[in-house]
Chain A
Amino acid sequence: MDAVPQIVLNIVIAGGIYSLAALGFNVLYSTTRFFDLGYGAYALVGGYAVLCLYKWVGINLELSLLLGVLIAGLTGFLTEKIVYRALRARRASNTVLLIASLGVFTLGQAALAIFFSSQFQSLSRDIASQRLFSIESGVITATQLLILTAAFAVMGILVVVWRYTKFGRAVRAIADDEEVAQTVGIDSERVIGAVYFIGAAVGGIAGIAVGFDMGLQPLGMTILLEAVIAAVVGGIGNMYGSVLGGFLLALVENIGAWQFGGEWKFAFAFAVLILFLLYRPQGILPK
């Protein structure tokens, strides 16, 4: 079975992207305890921002990547400021916040479809010039390696920021109990705004990764589902968990696709999620 190395590489490649998506979602959910479905839109904004800057305006790659991530972060920040802050100030219930976030998702996705058309567009300018690295009979391209390193780099940065900086402590305090954190003098509004910026920015990186590796379409549901499943399975509130969840999800999807065909990929991913929700809702690695 000479395909095994390639399958392993497929899992590793997909795992990288899923981990990035999960890390961003984990940042948002573990702090605000709120399931923001709009996350799917922030990720897409990242990808499309780079498409617009890099391919249409023609800015050089590194700058457009940076701007793309910032724009995605800004989208998340503004959405929190305009929509969610008002709702939270009114002590709105989780249901209200969830429905509003579903609105943000639908609106974001449709707006992108109008501006960028619903056609499939790839970010990589010249498809063929990838430097390839072959391990046994499996092959991985330069972009994919870059995405992998980005995933672990982002995880590392987040772990360091969350654990060792004053900002990180403030975020964890809010994650435990927002009121208590406020009494201790943490300006929770500003911190949550910053957390939203970071979470959406990481989501943007994931969107860009998908754009380069496979291609962009104004369908945010795929990346949203992957992010949520990986984050929950891996363990909400635990950065290592998100990366573990990302690779686990990639493993299950690829094995499922291998044995039963690609069309059942989503069904498998959801089956895993539901199993975890029932028997281990806190995920593999504890908070």
Chain B
Amino acid sequence: MNKWIWALIVIIIVGLGWWAIGFSGNSAQSGTGPIKIGSVLPLTGDAASIGTIDRAAVEIAVAEINAAGGVNGRQLEMIYEDGQCASTAASNAANKLMNADNVIAIIGGLCSTETATFAPAAMQKKVVVISPASSAPNLSQTGKYFFRDYPSDAFQGKFAAEYAYNTLGARKVAVIYHISDWGTGIKNVFETRFKELGGEIVSESGEPQTATDYRTDLTKAKAANPDYIYTPMYPQGDTALMKQASELGIKAKILGADGWDDPQLAKDAKNLGLDILYTTGKTGTTDAFKQKLQQKTKSPDVPVGAPQAYDAVYILANAMKSAGTDPDKLADTIRATKYDGVSGHIEFDQNGDLTVADYVVKRMANGTATVVQ
């Protein structure tokens, strides 16, 4: 019998413990102390390589703002939580930030999985959310306090399709994509748009984000002898794909998405004898920002979302300078913002998406990537 009693005691302790934590954390944002802001990025799991560097970009921005006196004299306090690119982890992380730390705003979800999980709750709690990289089209209907300074897949997929059809004159395209909210999203939009223009998708095959063997997909694509292979995939998949493509002697040219915008990939592609083009956001990513980031992370990568995360912090800080911390005023000010940041010109529409999302095309040649159009 005493086992039963012991069990009850433990349940009560943990339950009450949480209740107590809940109460203690209830200190509303005092008018003078530091302004608490949260960040939800994947620090472990599949997309950790991107998440950890985006976090560094946020840290640089926060340090710079605080050094320059913070917001109306109040310092910014950034609390980082791990979203793991998975819905349960992202929900727990965001809930802690919103309900225990009572943050004013959240910079994050990198993966659309994370953002789509906690954004609705944030809207209810009137917490401003600025996502630096979640590009899933369905996030546009999230709500009044949701913004993303990263173009929705709809833009990039459409731009790539038009560029391939009109400029590159491609008529038959094979698609190899990563099965993820980002990869599948872009693929769907690209295919619909490309078919509308009269092109033909000759072969399509997806692989999980963590896949390493693309030989069968490449062989299938090669057999369909397309003009171009369109590959919306994350950086690690691109490395393996390039290697295996060169091994298989793939002659068809490769058109990538912004997952390819990674200096390490350009170096690897140097003597693989592959013709690689890829679309990426028209980021006037100033070299100054790249130096700062590479110096902090000690890695050459400037992955998807890093410049956007840096800009997101500045947009939030500037908006708070004039609107203070009231969610509605803050949201309206952000919506009216026109900001030229390291990730390019930023203006928001009523859905919180970027109004203008122009892309550039870069070509990987002898170790570096140069803008083509």
Q: Which residues of A contact B (CB under 8 A)?
A: 1-3, 6-7, 10, 13-14, 113, 117-120, 122, 124, 127-128, 130, 132, 134, 139, 141, 210, 214-215, 217, 219, 254, 257-258, 261-263
Assembly CA distance A3 to B236 (angstroms): 26
Q: Does B222 contact A (CB under 8 A)?
A: yes
**Which of A7, A139, A263 is the one whose CB lies under 8 Å from B249?**
A139
Q: Are B220 and A214 in contact (CB under 8 A)?
A: no
Q: Spot the interface stretch: B45-53, B132-140, B324-332.
A: B45-53
**Which of B205, B215, B223, B239 is the one whose CB lies under 8 Å from A215?**
B239
Q: For residue B271, which residues in chain A have a CB less than 8 angstroms away from its CB? A: 128
A253 nearest CB across to chain B (Å): 8
Q: Are B268 and A127 in contact (CB under 8 A)?
A: yes
Q: Are A263 and B223 in contact (CB under 8 A)?
A: no
Q: Are A214 and B249 in contact (CB under 8 A)?
A: no
Q: For residue A128, which residues in chain B have a CB less than 8 angstroms away from its CB? A: 246, 270-273
Q: For residue B206, which residues in chain A have a CB less than 8 angstroms away from its CB? A: 261-263
Assembly CA distance A263 to B237 (angstroms): 14
Pairs A-B, 5 closest by C-beta atoms: A120-B236, A3-B223, A214-B212, A257-B216, A119-B49
A241 nearest CB across to chain B (Å): 23
Task: Give the tally of cross-chain contacts (CB within 8 A).
Answer: 96
Q: For residue B240, which residues in chain A have a CB less than 8 angstroms away from its CB? A: 120, 122, 214-215
Q: For residue A122, which residues in chain B have a CB less than 8 angstroms away from its CB? A: 239-240, 243
A186 nearest CB across to chain B (Å): 41
**Which of B179, B212, B216 is the one whose CB lies under 8 Å from A254?**
B216
**With A6-B248, A261-B205 as contacts: A118 and B223 at CB distance below 8 Å:** no
**With A128-B246, A128-B271, A261-B205 as contacts: A119 and B216 at CB distance below 8 Å:** no
Q: For residue B249, which residues in chain A have a CB less than 8 angstroms away from its CB? A: 132, 134, 139
A227 nearest CB across to chain B (Å): 16
Q: Are B239 and A263 in contact (CB under 8 A)?
A: no
B255-276 to A contact mask, C-beta < 8 Å, 1/0: 0000000000000101111000
Q: Are B222 and A3 in contact (CB under 8 A)?
A: yes
**B: contact size bracket:** 35 or more
Q: Are B48 and A1 in contact (CB under 8 A)?
A: no
**Which of A3, A13, A118, A257 is the one whose CB lies under 8 Å from B45?**
A118
Q: For residue B45, which residues in chain A have a CB less than 8 angstroms away from its CB? A: 118
Q: Are A119 and B243 in contact (CB under 8 A)?
A: no
Q: For residue A7, which residues in chain B have a CB less than 8 angstroms away from its CB? A: 216, 219
Assembly CA distance A127 to B206 (angstroms): 24
Interface members, chain B 40-60 (any A CB < 8 Å): 44-46, 48-49, 52
B230-249 to A contact mask, C-beta < 8 Å, 1/0: 00000011011011101111
Known pairs A120-B210, A120-B212, A122-B243 / 19 extra A-B pairs, C-beta < 8 Å: A3-B219, A3-B223, A6-B219, A6-B222, A117-B49, A118-B49, A127-B242, A130-B247, A132-B249, A214-B213, A215-B239, A217-B210, A217-B212, A261-B205, A261-B206, A262-B205, A262-B207, A263-B205, A263-B207
**Which of B179, B214, B247, B270 is the one whose CB lies under 8 Å from A263?**
B179
Q: Does B204 contact A (CB under 8 A)?
A: yes
